[in-house]
Amino acid sequence: GMYVFLHAVKGTPFETPDQGKARLLTHWEQLDYGVQFTSSRKFFTISPIILYFLTSFYTKYDPTHFILNTTSLLTVLIPKLPQLHGVRIFGINKY
């Protein structure tokens, strides 16, 4: 859910005074006006990591669950990297 909400959905749910600039940006790119390493961005980055550790512990590091959890963690964390701000891989979500 976090990936879809923060990295796949573009635009804003309400009218903004930016004259349409936000309609091409995801919610993650709009967060704190694109400034990196703010407290809210750190929270959204640390939350999936904590959930990953908790699920790994409670599934007793079962290999199947471990691979699924690691894959889901990477799909949420990699788009949050500052190097990928505004980047559309393979043109996905370009428009």
- The answer to whether residue 94 is domain-embedded is no
| Residues contacting 33, CB < 8 A, separation 6+ | none
C-alpha to C-alpha distance for 4 and 11, rounded to whole angstroms: 13
C-alpha to C-alpha distance for 82 and 95, rounded to whole angstroms: 21
- The answer to whether residue 45 is domain-embedded is yes
C-alpha to C-alpha distance for 72 and 36, rounded to whole angstroms: 22
Count up the domains in the chain and report the number: 1
pLDDT of residue 95: 66
pLDDT of residue 47: 94
- The answer to whether residue 91 is domain-embedded is no
C-alpha to C-alpha distance for 21 and 34, rounded to whole angstroms: 13
Write out the residue range of the structural domain in which residue 11 sits.
1-84
7 with 19: CB under 8 angstroms?
no
Average pLDDT per 10 consecutive residues for the chain, totaling 95 residues: 80 73 81 88 94 95 95 91 80 69
